A and B are shown apart, each in its own frame.
Chain A
């Protein structure tokens, strides 16, 4: 393969993956999914009933894998009928978004009605107003993941079939989304009323913010907030993962021989080393900026 074409395709993959990461995170924030949702789940028990969407569709990795795989499967079926690629990926994503909508709806209804004793109501207007944006974001995520998988199969001749690649990238985007962007939602937005600059005190567990600038807070407000930081950085994380793991084998093409292959491995190892050092620098600067929370009693004594 021409290295320039490889680089171009890789750049496209990286861009698509960045969008996928960002929309994945906002999709999980708008519905309150995965780990931060434990607080939304806990809130009614602490006498904090709320109007937040309780979208407990398993963890994010399986739920994203589900929609991406369904999208990939439907697209692959359509490709077998010689439908154009763009149309096939679009219809696939559409079916995936619809399925995702049913999962979101049943999760909201099921979780809320299982909290009868805490007087948590099922608000149908929350369902009506939030489910379409959830489906919209899931459409974007599925479509971009399918673009990544399709490029891998066609341009980079990856041996795995399209639905399986979509499955794996779905798991990965979910894993990244739930470990990065979700923290912004869980640790900051859900507890915006406590002082900035600390983790959630266990004593405050479940006491989520339920009121907004005007009226009651909805999950729509949460995705507005997370779109400022949590969503974009998730995009960067997934984009970087897809880009860097492809970059090393595009620059040092292992099909040219084992030597180039080992160079690609060394390049990957160097990238990891740089990241460890960068993380250390960041850790030190954060410790210096924020300072310790308590005095050192041993030294004071």
Chain B
């Protein structure tokens, strides 16, 4: 596990745009799925997964930004941390909102709470653990927040709603939360981890994030087959497969652009080529 280089990674798309994309896209997806849940038998619950994909892309960019400084241990740790924070914040947000009769505000509360936990861990990481990574506070906040949107988005894709009692019944009790946890966590950490190297490019990494987010969406669709009904599940799965295809071809096109050579087969580069 190489720990990444050191220093700020070059970013073609500024992080602020990705933050806006993740938060706005994520919340629009979640709320659209929620408000359209009564339309056409709930087929619009796939919107929740689209929101989750927006959050994935944002989170993967944040992981890329902080992990390129080198964490001292593998990139995966930060993905696990993100989802650890996310799951606590998401459940709290949804539960407390419902407890106060403001269920509609659940995702927003979760987002705020996650940001607070993330900021806290970020501050402690720099001040107490002395990691001294300049973007630590901001990135931890972003990672926790994106992890929370991811969890809520995928839960919405599975159940069609973010009402806590439904999520509790259909996602937590059944254990599907475990797949949200790991498929979401991997979607955040895998893109940068899989593209780690001196010639890593932001757009390639983010296409990879789209592709991995789409896989999480497909799995959420499979779960929706049983939690909701066959048509809802199939719609989510099919859109997920389409997005996966789009993400994969986009990723592969950038691999062909960025790689030294993409060859069908061949020997190692010759001595002259290595000079």
Interface residues of A (CB under 8 A from B): 34-35, 37-38, 41-42, 47, 49-51, 56-59, 62-63, 65-66, 69-70, 72-74, 76-77, 80-81, 95, 99, 102-103, 106-107, 109-125, 160-167, 170, 210, 216
Contact = CB atoms under 8 A, between A and B. Distances in A.
B225 A38 contact: no
Contact of A59 (B1, B181, B198, B244): B1
Contacts, number: 195
Given A109-B252, A121-B269, A167-B181, A114 B258 contact: yes
B258 A66 contact: no
Contacts of B80: 62
Contacts of A70: 179, 183, 219
B75 A116 contact: no
Interface stretch (B45-53, B128-136, B184-192): B184-192
Nearest to A99: B215
Given A58-B79, A73-B222, A117-B199, A163 B251 contact: no
A76 B1 CA distance: 33
Contact of B268 (A59, A65, A76, A210): A210
Contacts of B191: 110
Contacts of B200: 114
B14 interface: no
9 contacts: A41-B196, A73-B179, A74-B222, A81-B226, A110-B255, A113-B260, A116-B199, A116-B259, A118-B260
B65 to A, nearest CB: 16
A216 B267 contact: yes
B16 interface: no
A216 B222 CA distance: 42
Nearest to B177: A164
Nearest to B257: A113
A59 B223 CA distance: 26
Given A106-B251, A114-B196, A123 B204 contact: no
